[in-house]
Amino acid sequence: MNIAIIPARGGSKRIPHKNIKNFCGKPIIAYSIEAAIASGFFEKVIVSTDDQKIAEIAISYGAEVPFFRPTQLANDYAGTVEVIRHAINELALSDDTNICCLYATAPFVGPKILLDGLKLLESKKFDYVFSATEFPFPIQRAFHLQDNGKIQMFHPELSNSRSQDLPKAYHDAGQFYWGKAKAFKEGKAIFSEHSKAVLLPRKRVQDIDTPEDWELAEALFSVL
């Protein structure tokens, strides 16, 4: 059995009502719901929320909201794994259920990439499979600003290294996390040697945490 669970709390601060804010013509959560439904391989598409308005919008786009998330799992410190574990327990899902945690702010996600992740999970070699993309610039040559405004490299010994001589680095694309219900129940870490990344082109990835991120995501989405 394959179940999609979309976490969508109501208390976002940097972008108020982020999970249901209009994104290129419809609430941003609608894109994740529609991608999951269009894939055709989910028995249920569940939205985990603490917010009545989010629930109403989610249901209007075809998702189910069979429970409301407790307050202690709807704050800034609640982790993804514990939120999904709560949903799994509420739904009384068996350990071998394939769970796809699909973020509400993932307008670039599509059925094909979700299927790619499912196939990897079903290979039984990994606890989790998640989306990732390559950093556009060598992270080994990154620097931070000190209190006095001066720069300090994180790896000064690599300051003169050529980009092509440095290993590529990747980061979480923030779109989906496939995992067996058992892995979520046991609280296993998503980012470990027991996980596999599905690599996405950078043009299909945009983190959405600030108003500037939102503007960039809408511009990119419109071009694509």
Q: Shortest CA distance to 101 belongs to which of 129, 72, 70, 134?
A: 129
pLDDT tens digits, 153-176: 999 998 888 888 899 999 999 999
Q: Does position 81 have pLDDT exceeding 80, yes or no?
A: yes
Average pLDDT along the chain: 92
pLDDT of residue 160: 85
Q: Are 130 and 179 in contact (CB under 8 A)?
A: no
Question: How much is the pLDDT for 16?
Answer: 85
pLDDT at 150: 92
Name the pLDDT band for 86 (thresholds 50, 70, 90).
very high
Tell me how far CA of residue 153 lies from CA of 9, 78, 142, 147, 169, in angstroms. 37, 32, 6, 14, 17
Kindly report the backbone phi and psi dihedral angles of residue 178, in degrees, each rounded to the nearest multiple of 5, phi listed first: -85, 145
pLDDT, position 92? 93
Q: What's the whole-number mean pLDDT along residues 212-221?
A: 92
AA letter at 7: P
Give just the sign of the alpha carbon dihedral 117, 182, 100, 133.
negative
Q: What is the pLDDT of residue 219?
A: 94
Max intra-chain CA distance, the chain? 56
Question: Whole-angstrom Cα distance, residue 18 to residue 100?
Answer: 21
Please check whether residue 205 is in contact with residue 108, taking contact to mean a CB–CB distance below 8 angstroms.
Answer: yes
Per-residue pLDDT at 73: 83
Please check the confidence at residue 121 and state whether its pLDDT lies above 90: yes
- List, for residues 1-50, the tens digit of each pLDDT value: 999 999 999 877 788 899 999 999 999 999 999 999 999 999 999 999 99
42 within 8 A of 93, measured Cβ to Cβ: no
Question: In this model, does residue 74 exceed pLDDT 90?
Answer: no
Predicted pLDDT of residue 107: 94
Domains recognised in the chain with CATH numbers = 2-219 (3.90.550.10)
